[in-house]
Amino acid sequence: MRDERDWGQFHTAENLAKSIAIEAGELLECFQWDPDADDARVKEELADVVTYCILLADRLGVDLDAIVTAKLESTRAKYPAEKAKGRSTKYDAL
């Protein structure tokens, strides 16, 4: 779809990173004054964030699933289950 519209020229890594932050702000707006948000709106805004994430991964030439899995493995190592159970403490304070 991006190619049909010749939008690749705007999709530098930097512009996509800005776009992700902008859309993340719109997602957060669903929860601005109230923890209970409208689910349909949350889904739309979440889809916008993820769309730009996919475009950035594409621009970087990486597979999104692969980098998420790699990151998960490294987080798993940093937060051993027996230490981190039921806590939201940052790993360097565990």
Query: Does 15 engage in binding with a second copy (CB under 8 A)?
Result: yes
Determine the 3-state secondary structure of 42 from DSSP. helix
- What's the chain's Rg over C-alpha atoms? 17
Q: Rounded to a whole number, what is the largest CA-CA distance in the chain? A: 51
Query: Does 85 engage in binding with a second copy (CB under 8 A)?
Result: yes
Residues 33-52 that bind a second copy (CB under 8 A): 33-35, 37, 39, 42-44, 46-51
Query: Does 78 engage in binding with a second copy (CB under 8 A)?
Result: no
Given candidates 25, 41, 91, 94, which one binds a second copy under the rule CB under 8 A? Answer: 25
